[in-house]
Every structure is written in C-alpha cells, then in structure tokens.
Structure 1
Amino acid sequence: MSKTNDASNRTVTIKRTFNAPIELVWEAWTQPEHIIKWWGHVKMNVKVIQHNFKVGGTWKYTMEMPDGNEFITEGVYSEIVEFEKIISSADFKPMTEGVEIQAFFEKNGDQTNFTFNIVHDTEEYCKQQEKMGILNGWGSVFDRLVEHLETLVK
C-alpha cells in the first residue's frame, strides 16, 4: 500500500478520558435520550430521526442551527462490539461526507479511555477538514458529552 493511502495519513484522532464508568459512557453514546443532550454544538437542538443500533442499522440526527437551517448527520453501523467499539459510515451534511467514524472504549477503573477516529477517503480531504476546524468541532461535542456524563455520575 502506498504511503499516501495509509489510513494514518487520512485519519483525525481525538482521545479523551471520561470520568465515568464504561457502561455509562456506552449508554450515553448509544441511547437516543442521551444523544440528544450532547451530540452537536451547544446552540443546536438535536433530534434523533433514526437510531437502529445494530450492524447494518442506520442512524440519522438533525441539528437545528441558530439561523433555523438544519444540519443533517447520518450513517450506517458496520461494526459494534459492546463496550469496545462502534464503527459507522458518516455524512455530516453539508460540511463533511463519506467518512468513517470509529469510537473505541476502554475500561480504566471507574473511568473510560476513549479514542475517536474520523477516517477520510484521501489525505487531501483529511487536511481540508482539519483546516475547516474538525478538531474544534468534535472537541466541543465531546466537551458536551463530559458535561452530560457529569450529570449522570452520582
């Protein structure tokens, strides 16, 4: 495989350690009643349109932006291993399309180590997305997840 097609050159990775047990982080990631509280930016109202959480199942969420326009996110689950990983295709219309998102969960006592990859088709597309602020965007989403998890941990 050529170096230019190497997945590491086409992947944006974000790592976090959540101060919550893996079961709770998994639930927050996989259950619609939690997803609406953290998915997307803070000023967006999230609606779960579809959430068929199984391999081959589809998901579709809409986010209403402050200007009233809708931002659509959707994909198809390709791999699910409970408390370990979720892999899905993903389109974030109109900004990012045709990527794969990979969420990896690792138990660390009462905490959860989390690795999130966004895999792009090409290195050029990955670099374009980085310039558009993909790290800041997902970083703010995961900040919201941290806040949501804090409300759940007693």
Structure 2
Amino acid sequence: MKITIQTQITAPINLIWTAFTSPRHIPNWNFASEDWHCPWAKGELKIGGKFTHRMEAKDGSMGFDFNGTYRGIIPNKKLSYLIEDGRSVEITFTQLGKESIITETFEAENTHSEELQRNGWQAILDNFKSYVEKIAPDALHFEIEIQAPVSQVKKHMLDEESYRLWTTPFSPGSYYEGNWKKGSQIYFLTQDENGEKSGMISKILQHIPDHYISIEHLGMIDKGKEITSGPEIETFQGITENYSFSAKNDKTVLQVDIESVGEYKDHFNDTWPKALEKLKEICEK
C-alpha cells in the first residue's frame, strides 16, 4: 500500500530543495513531534548515495537510524530513494509562481496503522514547511530569462574569461581558481594593487550538467590569509549558493538562490541583478 501526503510552501524552489536535501538543514525539521528530534544527518546526494538521519526521543529513552539509498535525483523537481527495509519513497517538487507543492508518496510498512503512518509523515512535512517559510525571508532569490540555450548560458557563466566579465558588478577583477566539478574546492577571488588575494573559499556540493549547481561557502581569504573559523565568517560559513538552469522554448531561465548572508544582503540585492543582466548581454551577443 502506498500513502501520499502533500504541503504547499511559499518560498523559492531552490531554497526548498536545499532545505530538504542538505544535512545542515535536515535536523531542523525532521521530527514528527516536539518530544523527538533529529540530532544529525549525513549523506551523499547522488544516485546510489547513502544517507542516515538519526532520530531520537529528547529524553534519550529510544532512538534509531533512518537509512536509505538515493535512486533518482532531478534537482528542484524530483527525489526518490529506498529505505533500508526496501520500501520506496518519491517526492515531487512543483513550482507554481511563488508557491511550491511538495508531494511525498511512500510505501507503508505493516507494523503500524495507515492513519498513524500518514499522520507521522505529514507532521514531518508540516515541520518542513514551517522551517522553510521561517528562513525564506532572509534568503535571496534572483531570476532572469536569457535568449540562448542552456548549454550556452552555462558555458558563459562558468568559463574563466566570461566569468571575469559578468562578475564585474561584484568587484572589478573578479575571477576564480579551481574547477566546477562536484566535490572540488574553488576560490572566488579579487586582487588588490599589491597582488594580495581576497575572496571566498568554497566547495562544489552538486553539479548536474545543464541543470543545477550548488556551492557551499566554507570561509574567506583576507589579504592572502585563509580564514575558516572565527567571528569573521560566522554570518556565511556553510551557506549555499545555488544555480538552476531550465529551458523555456528557445530561452533559458536562470535562477540563483542564496541562503541568509547577514550584513551582505543589501550588497547582493544590488549587485546580483546587475551581474545577471551582464551575463544576459554576453549570452545574447
């Protein structure tokens, strides 16, 4: 028997996807009642990747590991996995303007009643909705339509030469060192008049060609010195910056979503639209 539950969330789809799949976010919503919690989560978001969500009663009286294996991943659209006991779960993410519908279908087990299982899974999904809508106001979302195919938009966005051009609004002379492969460390940099580097230390969490890129920011470089702990980076360490590319007839819809960036919010609200317009200009030449 399969059971289907659903919720509707007011938040950008990229943020919803990130909050649902990131081990950094999962402990904040993955519990069915206030007397339970999810102390930690870990996993690798790839086909065949394993994950574990630790579920415990807050009084320490009981707990278990919820283990599974990812079977299907289409960022911002669909996720499926097998639970350790062999039951399947499928989640769809449907964007409807500023709203998104999350539909979750799972195979029931034989120990508990259908009602108890439905209510438990729905309670977790309701917690997810509340959590995402709580963090959404501090997140940033930018979107642009570009008259060019996805492959061309992505090429100009990531190639070293064109990257230096479209990122000028952030800081003249912006460039990167590293590559965009999943798992790679990448540095987003500028240099001062003395040749000293400053910028961000980051990691490519996910890269699905022509569809999706997720970047996690780990620290910063200040005049050549790497900083990966301390008060200087507390506002942004661990946040993700996500790009999604989707085809719309002969155009590309590029969406950029960034989690809360604290004091940098006004800066990015000003510079990201200018940078995307510059990228659009480059792609449409």
Match of 2:114 in 1: 130
Q: CA deviation digits over 1:115-140, x for unaligned, max 9? A: 100025xxxx5695405x01110111
Match of 1:65 in 2: 57
How has the CA–CA distance of structure 1 residues 18 and 127 changed in structure 2, closer, same or farther, with 3 Å as cutoff?
A: farther
Structure showing greater relative contact order (alpha-carbon pairs closer than 8 Å, 6 or more residues apart):
1
Is 1:32 aligned to residue 23 of structure 2?
A: yes
How has the CA–CA distance of structure 1 residues 110 and 49 changed in structure 2, closer, same or farther, with 3 Å as cutoff?
A: closer
Larger radius of gyration, structure 1 or 2? 2
TM-score by length of structure 1 reads 0.79
CA distance in 1, matches of 2:29, 2:98: 21
| 1:46-125 equivalent positions in 2, closer than 5 A | 46-68=38-60, 69-91=62-84, 97-120=85-108, 125=109
Q: Which runs of 5+ in 1 are unaligned?
A: 1-9, 92-96
Q: Verify the 8 A CA contact 2:78 2:90 in the aligned structure 1.
A: yes
Kindly, what percent of the aligned residue pairs are identical? 26
Match of 1:6 in 2: none
Match of 2:215 in 1: none
Match of 2:9 among 18, 33, 41: 18
CA distance in 1, matches of 2:92, 2:99: 14
Q: CA deviation digits over 1:93-117, x for unaligned, max 9? A: xxxx431111100111011111100
Runs of 4+ in 1 over 3 A off after TM superposition: 125-129
Q: Verify the 8 A CA contact 1:32 1:48 in the aligned structure 2.
A: yes
The structural deviation recorded for 1:46 is 1.1
How has the CA–CA distance of structure 1 residues 17 and 75 changed in structure 2, closer, same or farther, with 3 Å as cutoff?
A: same
Of Structure 1 and Structure 2, the greater helix share is in: 1
Is 1:151 aligned to residue 134 of structure 2?
A: yes
AA matched with 1:146:
K
